[in-house]
Amino acid sequence: MKATFKRTLAIAIPAAITAALASGAAQARDPFDKEALDKQNAQLLELVELGYNLWHGSNPEMSSNGLACGNCHPDAGASNPQTFPKYIQNMNRVVQWGEMVNWCVQNPQAGKALALESKDMTAMYAYAMNLHRGLPIQPGLAAQQTKPIPVKYGKGFPSKPSGIGFDTK
Amino acid sequence: MDHKKDRREFLQLTGKAGLSTIVGSAAGINLGVFDLAHAQPGKKVSPFRFAMITDSHLYSGEDHKFDRQLEDAVEQVNNMEVKPDFVLYGGDIAQNGTEDQLAKGKKILSKLDTKLVLIPGEHDWYVDMGGAWKGMFGQDTWSFDHKGVHFIGMNSILVPDFWTAKQMSPRERMAAMEMLEGPIGGLWGVGEKQLEWLKKDVAKLSPDTPIVTFTHSPLWDYYPRWNFQTVDGPQIREILSKFENFTSIHGHVHQTLYNKVGNMTSIGAMSTSWPWPYPPVKLAYPGSQMNRADPGNEVDGMGTLSVSVKAGGDKLAEYQPFAESLTPFLKKGLKA
Ligand SMILES: [Fe+2]
Ligand SMILES: [Fe+2]
């Protein structure tokens, strides 16, 4: 990324400002070039993949009974992060997505909650968000919150299934 | 826990209720809406009832919550007001296909006080290609006649060999099949051999014989990405197309589900382990969707199924949820 920082000298010449705004040139720096964007996206995808693995049981701390998110939320169904913050009946208050995740970690999975700012939580969020971005936000049936994913059978993300269902005992 | 309360109320009710009365919607238990006593005996079919338990996904180790949920299902069926003549187990006894998990399932299911028939699910099969399952439960393809109805069980979770080329160990093969999403093993079905067997099995039956098939997966293309399908479903439906009354009952989807394709009525059963969200598919009969599960209730969205077969071969399928999770439409039962 080029660290250019164009100061817009918005003084004295109102006409120039107007022109600059109209042409979109009033930004702080150049747009990211392709190389920079690719790097950023690669980082995000890496996290999405980590999220996929966690979703399927790669962190044994998150479960003491063998269950992983993927058991009950295939393709991150019925867990749309875009519907949060929202009121959750069990907790009788409005919670953010990560709190609901931790609720499922601690209850159905009888596991240890993740820190809300942890890399693992961000990764899970990245994965779930990746499957839901752009879907209409509605609190209705889970069906409306599961996005069909255009991958061929047997592909998915490149990583191997990591531990879903493997007994840790 | 809600569930305990549900069960206590349920037992009370069954204790009080007379034969073939409406047990009704109290405690979410939906039994006995159909009055067997008034059914007219038909020419060939005499009325009876059977029950279905499926998808218990038992893990290894002691005192797992899924063990208790299967035990509850067994108790629920044992306490049915009108006793079922037999119980069908629809597959996925085990989670990881290991012998100890299958044996645990066998032990719990042995508490049923009626005859049990079983078909396998993918979670039962891929450690040793059905070796342990067959050793405990017998054939995976079978048929029998009962009170005028012809029942067929088939193994619908067979995939072509994907493991040899990848040099996978038995446990790796099983893990690959455990994945619901984007199945690594590809789409499954019953295969050529069972299709041939089916042709022979029904060749001599007259078209007015009511047919009930049991497979782990639905015989129609519901959501292939989660293997909510059977690749040779169309061939099976073709072989059975001459029958006037054909009902397919399946597990695997962990949700209430209803469809009609040609002469086939298809009914999906709830699991005893966990409910699945509905995949993004428009259902022809959206009324057959159960309510969204409450994550705070460990057994919401789960239960068993019972089917009353009336004189003439008509069937009424009723879900028996562990907790209140049925819509008013579903509480009336599904005519099959
Ligand atoms: Fe299952
Ligand atoms: Fe299954």
Domain containing residue B260: CATH number? 3.60.21.10
Instruction: Please indicate, yes or no, if residue B241 is contained in any of the structural domains.
Output: yes
The pLDDT > 70 percentage for chain B reads 87
> Is A100 part of any domain?
yes
Instruction: Give exposure, B219-249, as e/b (b: 16+ Cβ within 10 Å).
Output: bbebbebbbbbbbbbebbbebbeebebbbbb
The more confident residue out of B182 and A65 is: A65
A2 within a domain of the structure (yes/no): no
Is residue A23 in a domain?
Answer: no
* Mean per-residue pLDDT over chain B, rounded: 87
Give the chain A residue whose CA is nearest to the CA of B94: A165
Nearest-by-Cβ selection for B277 from A78, A104, A165 = A78
Q: Please give the residue range of the domain that contains residue A105.
A: 34-145
- Which pLDDT belongs to residue B99? 97
- Supply the pLDDT for residue B6: 43
Q: Is residue A61 part of a domain?
A: yes
Report the pLDDT value the prediction gives residue A31, as an integer from 0 to 100: 87
B22 inside domain: no
Nearest to B119 by CA among B264, B265, B217, B201: B217
Q: What is the pTM of this model?
A: 0.85
Query: How far away, in angstroms, is B70 Cα from ligand 1 center?
Result: 13
Q: Is the pLDDT of residue A19 over 60?
A: no
Determine, yes or no, domain membership for B13: no
Q: Is residue A135 part of a domain?
A: yes
| Domain annotation covers residue B12 | no
Which has more pLDDT, B120 or A25?
B120
Do the chains contact at B277 and A166, CB–CB below 8 Å?
no
Q: Is the pLDDT of residue A23 over 80?
A: no
- Is A58 a member of any domain? yes
Which of A127, A132, A153, A168 to probe by mutation at the B interface, max B CB count within 10 Å? A153
Q: What is the pLDDT of residue A15?
A: 52
Q: Is the distance from CB of B173 to CB of B126 less than 8 angstroms?
A: yes
Q: Which residues pair with B87 in a beta bridge?
A: B51, B116
* Residue A22 pLDDT: 54
In chain A, the number of structural domains is 1
| Pairing mode, strands B149-153 and B142-146 | antiparallel
Interchain proximity A154–B181, CB inside 8 Å: no
Is residue B133 included in any domain, yes or no? yes
Number of structural domains in chain B: 1
Range of the domain at B302: 28-335
Interface residue A73 vs chain B (CB under 8 A) = yes
Q: What is the pLDDT of residue B11?
A: 34
Report if residue B128 sits inside a domain: yes
When scoring A75, A87, A100 by the number of chain B Cβ atoms within 10 A, the one with the most, hence best to mutate, is A75
pLDDT value at position B8?
36
Q: Average pLDDT, stretch A52-81?
A: 91
Using the predicted structure, report yes or no on whether residue A164 has a pLDDT greater than 60: no
Given a cut of 50, the residues of chain B with pLDDT beneath it are 1-42
Q: What is the CATH number of the domain that holds A44?
A: 1.10.760.10
| ipTM of predicted complex | 0.86
